[in-house]
Structure 1
Amino acid sequence: METWTGAFPQLLAAYEHKERFYGVWDATTRPQAEAALDDWIATIPKGQKDVWNDLVRAVGNWREEIMTYFETDIPVTNAYTESINRLAKDKNREGRGYSFEVMRARMLYTTKHKKKAPTAKVSPFYKKTIGYGLPDFAEELNYGVDLSTI
């Protein structure tokens, strides 16, 4: 990285400016974030306005929504929703043209995204009975570590 940025000063300027954009998210209040974003836009390196134009436009179009992130008690993003949308697009591409009904069913009824119910482990001290409270001696009970491991 140092070799490339040393040989190309504009690349170094672009890299540093990208890192400053991440600094906007270090703000704790909306006014701080807005000031940091305005400062970031104002300090775009010379000759790179066209390079950053798409990002500046996107941030401008979504500014209200982006800045709302800083007004909540617990900052949240729509990353989960975007992730689910990506999964739906991947499923659609894999299926090569599923109908809406099939896509909906695959997204709703797939088990990969659902938590599995925890399986209860049977205690080694649990004693089976054959009836009337009498123990079942047909099965040996394990009361600890196997002697071969000690």
Structure 2
Amino acid sequence: MRLSFAGALVLALSFGSAAHAAEVRWTSTKQPAEVLGMPAGEEEADDVLRLTCLKSGAVQIGLGGYTSLGKGKSEPLSVTLTSGAQSVTLNGKSVRSKNFEMTGAFELRADLAPGDTKPLIGVLTAGQPIHVSGALKEKWSVKGLKPVVERFSAACVSN
């Protein structure tokens, strides 16, 4: 009985996410201009969401560190983010997360052209918890997110 319970527990954990993200700590960097959302209380976790400003105001999205986001072999993925009445669907590909060596997790990676960022910014600044659906099911806290995204957006536009 103990052995089968332990085996079931290991199996269940292997299909879970590498980034348990009910409470998210939102931060930003200036160089490069980034928004980073990391699970609160975890030091070696992947970011649940990373936005990086690219040249000419394009934005690269890294949504992950989850073992459930594909196999990291560029297969297509789709995830929808919803906050209040705002919603955006992100279409990208599965790649190894930035912290893959530590977590063994994958992320959805996508690039948005400068004119395509408004729906995403709308979701991130709506002020209500973000519900993630599609290839991933999560709910993220948003405490402190709005000013972080506003600073990022202003810096990225002037880039």
TM-score range, shorter chain: under 0.3
Q: What TM-score does the superposition give when structure 1 sets the normalisation length?
A: 0.26
Which one has a bigger Cα radius of gyration? Answer: 1
Q: What TM-score does the superposition give when structure 2 sets the normalisation length?
A: 0.25
Q: Of Structure 1 and Structure 2, which has the larger fraction of its residues in helix?
A: 1
Asked which structure has the greater RCO (Cα within 8 Å, sep 6+), the reply is: 2
